[in-house]
Each structure stands twice: as C-alpha cells, then as structure tokens.
Amino acid sequence: MARSITDWKPVITGRVFDATGGGPVFKAEVICMVYELTDTPAPQESGKETAKGKDKGKDQPDKVVPPGWREVAKGLTDIDGKVRFAHNLEEGRRYRLTALAFGLQSDGEVTLERGCDACVSLPLPLEHAKAWLRLLQDARYGV
C-alpha cells in the first residue's frame, strides 16, 4: 500500500557498500547531520584556559562534523549495509550522511522533499582494507 503525501514522515536511508565489489559493509558507523550555517561565530577559548588543558576534549570541534553542520543521529549498518534515520528530521532541510569503517570515510548529501524517499549511497574504497587484512592473516599464520 502506498503512502499518501499527507501522512508522509521524513526518512533517510543510507547504504554503505564496497566501492569495488558492491558488497554491503556490516556495522559501519553512519552519522546523520543537518546543515544549519549561522552568522554567529563560535566563542573562542582564552589562551590561559587552553594552556592549562582545562576541559581538554570538551567543546572541541568534531573532525567528522564540518563547520555549519550539526549531528542529528548516529547508527550502525545492518547485514545489508543499510541504516535508517527517521527522528529529528524536517522537510526542506539539507542532510549529510557520513559513513566510517576501517579508517575510511564516505559522505553523501540529500535534501528532504515531501512525498519522496531519501536514499544516500555511501561507497567505501575497501581494496586497501582487504589488502591489510590479507597481510595480517598471512603474518599470523606464517604464510
């Protein structure tokens, strides 16, 4: 049964897969962010607090979340490499999904439109990760 536009709920689905082979990536971390660039700059820490190391790690920008974006949710991919976000989403807003696995990152963006399902493809170039795994296995088993 098809959904009508009046009972439409915003949903973003992401699929993380191997860029070379197309296979799904299981348990990749996916971060959902919303774009909300503001004109107000972030408050700067004084040199004295920074030098002391006060609250080290707190209020430092996340390396994955770029300026102008705010994290909405995180999730792990299922056995098919899929992840679904359905909370704290708004129509007409621009969203970014970032997939992280094996030290690799892939990004994709989408704008939510009423009545349309939003899907984001997140290919990861896993050929290097596979090569490292083969090297580790060879070293472990003395091949």
Q: State residue 64's pLDDT score.
A: 85
Three-state DSSP string of the chain:
CCCCCCCCCCCEEEEEEECCCCCECCCCEEEEEEECCCCCCCCCCCHHHHHHCCCCCCCCCCCCCCCCEEEEEEEECCCCCEEEECCCCCCCCEEEEEEEECCEEEEEEEECCCCCCEEEEEEECCHHHHHHHHHHHHHHHCC
Q: Are strands 82-85 and 94-101 parallel, antiparallel or unpaired?
A: unpaired
Average pLDDT of the chain, as a whole number: 82
Quick check: 43 and 60 in contact, CB under 8 A? Answer: no
CATH classification for the domain delimited by 12-42+61-141, as one of 2.160.10.10, 2.60.300.12, 3.40.50.620, 2.60.40.1120 = 2.60.40.1120
CB atoms under 10 Å from CB of 100, counted, come to: 17
Identify the H or E element spanning 139: helix 127-141
Quick check: 98 and 33 in contact, CB under 8 A? Answer: yes
Q: What is the pLDDT of residues 75-110, one digit of tens each?
A: 999 999 999 999 999 999 999 999 999 889 999 999
Q: State residue 4's pLDDT score.
A: 58
- CA atoms 72, 15, 101, 98: torsion sign: negative
For the residues 7-29, what does the mean pLDDT come to?
Answer: 92
Q: Strand, helix or coil at 127?
A: helix
**Taking the domains of the chain in order of start, what are their residue ranges?**
12-42+61-141
Q: What is the pLDDT of residues 50-60, one digit of tens each?
A: 444 444 445 55
